[in-house]
């Protein structure tokens, strides 16, 4: 063991003793290579067809007022269940639920729906700094990146809000322009949480400028871009930006697929570019659809999880994509993107 490794190992042991008597190093080691779902760890090969970015429930009220008191979980369950059953009939076997804390994350509801449908479902830890910080809790401004990371590592170690459900990834969000102070803090907290847990970081990002800044922050923190998913990459029109991020190792998520003609054309263009670059091995697809909306009659308008199966994948085939290429994006890439594992530089 050289000095650098020794220092790192000592720091890990010291950190583990501070955070939990069990120690995160041990917990992480036992999960390495697994997919962590709301009902437990599974092998990546058990994931099957994955919807990598969807929502069951989102509450837009804002961090200060977000609360599980704002809806009846039984009512939400009844409304959401048929949409998940429909997705399963169409071929979805694993569903990545991307609603973060303070905007409607409900780990108990995710677990209950997973048990009722037989779909593997993942939930997350982390805070959402997009939408002009409306969903960032007040304590995040006061606390350091390390303190936020301790909170998120604690959800990994102890489960989320007393449910025993562990996060399967880290979900953060940043605004459209250059990273603000709070957005940068969330990225650093996510990087430090990744190093302690091996959880992949999915960041609501959208555009190239913040995307490349996030990759730089991760690098400063010693985290490889392969631990990071550029969510909503479809919003960036310039394919060279996707190429640059993918070449750095990042996952590129075109996760707003839709049967709407304009969006179909947009996504076909992006995917053709990635194919031409030889980078389809780093692409993820999903709808960013759903969701039950607390405060609206009967949960409001719910967008079903169907367009990928019924319209988008057939359109890709018409545009020369092979079944193998589609399988890569929907079955193979998600296994590697979400498997637990520390990716250090």
Minimum gap (Å) between residue 55 Cβ and Zn ion: 6
Q: Which is nearer to Zn ion, 151 or 171 (CB)?
A: 171
Q: Is 307 in the site for Zn ion (CB under 5 A)?
A: no
Nearer to Zn ion, 291 or 321 (CB): 291
98 belongs to the binding site for Zn ion (CB under 5 A): yes
CB closest to Zn ion, residue no: 288
Q: In whole angstroms, how close is the CB of 17 to Zn ion at the nearest point?
A: 37
Question: Which CB atom, from 15 or from 290, has the smaller least distance to Zn ion?
Answer: 290
> Sign of dihedral through CA atoms 66, 69, 74, 76?
negative
Candidates 59-67, 98-106, 125-133, 257-265: pick the segment binding Zn ion (CB under 5 A).
Answer: 98-106
Token pair 């490349």 is at which residue? 212
| Nearest distance from C-beta of residue 266 to Zn ion, angstroms | 17
Is the Cβ of residue 330 or residue 341 nearer to Zn ion in the bound state? 330
CB of 259 to Zn ion, least distance (A): 18
The minimum distance between CB 231 and Zn ion, in angstroms, equals 7
Distance, CA of 284 to chain centre: 11
To Zn ion, the closest distance from the beta carbon of 267 in angstroms equals 16
Q: What residues contact residue 77 under an 8 Å CB cut-off, 6+ apart?
A: 109, 112, 113, 116
The residues near 11 (Cβ < 8 Å, ≥ 6 apart) are: none
Q: Pick the binder of Zn ion from 97, 106, 288, 325 (CB under 5 A).
A: 288
Residue 98 or residue 191: which is nearer to Zn ion going by CB? Answer: 98
Respond yes or no on whether the N-terminal peptide bond of residue 95 is cis (omega within 30° of 0): no
Q: Are 251 and 337 in contact (CB under 8 A)?
A: yes
Shortest gap between Cβ of 302 and Zn ion (angstroms)? 14
- Region binding Zn ion by CB under 5 A among candidate stretches 93-101, 132-140, 236-244, 318-326: 93-101
Task: Give the DSSP H/E element, type plus range, for residue 74.
Answer: helix 73-90
- Concatenated DSSP letters of 254-269: E----SSHHHHHHHHH
Stretch that binds Zn ion, among 124-132, 175-183, 281-289, 325-333 (CB under 5 A): 281-289
Quote the CA–CA distance of 100 and 262 in Å, as a whole number: 28
How buried is residue 323: exposed, middle or buried, by Cβ count under 10 Å (0-12/13-18/19+)?
Answer: exposed
State which residue, 19 or 257, has the beta carbon closest to Zn ion.
Answer: 257
325 lines the binding site for Zn ion (CB under 5 A): no
- Per-residue x/- marks for Zn ion, 233-262, CB under 5 A? ------------------------------
CA atoms within 13 A on the CB side of 284: 29
Q: For residues 57 and 99, is the Cβ–Cβ distance under 8 A?
A: yes
**What is d(CA 176, CA 108) in angstroms, rounded to the nearest whole number?**
31
# chain residues binding Zn ion, by CB under 5 A:
2
Q: Which is nearer to Zn ion, 71 or 128 (CB)?
A: 128
Sheet strands (E) in the chain: 35-37, 40-42, 50-54, 94-97, 120-122, 124-125, 169-173, 201-204, 228-231, 251-254, 283-285
**Between 145 and 283, whose beta carbon lies closer to Zn ion?**
283
Residue 86 structure tokens: 């429909």
CB 270 to Zn ion: min, Å: 17
Confirm if 197 and 28 have CB atoms less than 8 A apart: yes
Asked if residue 139 lies in contact with residue 170, where contact means CB atoms within 8 angstroms, the answer is no
Using CB under 5 A, which of the segments 41-49, 90-98, 116-124, 319-327 binds Zn ion?
90-98
Instruction: Tell me which stretch binds Zn ion (CB under 5 A): 30-38, 91-99, 121-129, 155-163.
Output: 91-99
The two three-digit tokens of residue 223, written as one number:
């985290």
In terms of CB distance, is 124 or 197 closer to Zn ion? 124
> Considering only CA atoms, which of 67, 78, 84 is closest in space to residue 121?
84
Footprint of Zn ion (CB under 5 A): 98, 288
């Amino acid at each position: 063991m050289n000095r650098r490794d020794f220092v790192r190992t000592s720091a890990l042991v010291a950190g583990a003793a501070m955070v939990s008597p069990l120690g995160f190093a041990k917990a992480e080691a036992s999960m390495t290579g697994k997919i962590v779902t709301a009902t437990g760890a599974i092998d990546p090969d058990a994931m099957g067809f994955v919807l990598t970015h969807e929502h069951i429930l989102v509450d837009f009220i804002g961090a200060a007022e977000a609360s599980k008191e704002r809806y009846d979980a039984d009512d939400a369950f009844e409304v959401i269940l048929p949409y998940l059953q429909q997705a399963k009939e169409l071929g979805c076997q694993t569903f990545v639920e991307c609603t973060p804390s303070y905007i409607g994350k409900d780990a108990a509801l995710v677990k209950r729906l997973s048990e009722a449908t037989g779909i593997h479902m993942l939930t997350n830890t982390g805070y959402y700094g997009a939408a002009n910080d409306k969903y960032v809790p007040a304590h995040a401004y006061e606390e350091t990146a390390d303190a936020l990371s301790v909170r998120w590592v604690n959800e990994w170690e102890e489960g989320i809000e007393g449910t025993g459900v562990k996060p399967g990834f880290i979900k953060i969000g940043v605004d459209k322009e250059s990273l603000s102070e709070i957005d940068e803090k969330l990225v650093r907290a996510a990087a430090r949480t990744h190093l302690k847990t091996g959880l992949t970081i999915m960041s609501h990002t959208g555009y190239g400028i913040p995307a490349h800044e996030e990759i730089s922050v991760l690098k400063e923190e010693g985290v490889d871009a392969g631990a990071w998913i550029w969510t909503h990459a479809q919003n960036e029109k310039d394919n060279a930006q996707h190429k640059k991020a993918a070449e750095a190792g990042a996952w590129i998520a075109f996760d707003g697929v839709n049967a709407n003609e304009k969006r179909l054309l947009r996504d076909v263009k992006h995917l053709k570019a990635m194919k031409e670059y030889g980078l389809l091995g780093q692409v993820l697809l999903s709808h960013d659809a759903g969701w039950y909306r607390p405060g609206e009659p009967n949960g409001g308008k719910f967008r079903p999880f169907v367009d990928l199966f019924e319209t988008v994948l057939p359109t890709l085939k018409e545009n020369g994509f092979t079944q193998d290429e589609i399988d890569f994006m929907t079955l193979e890439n998600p296994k590697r993107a979400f498997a637990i594992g520390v990716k250090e530089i």
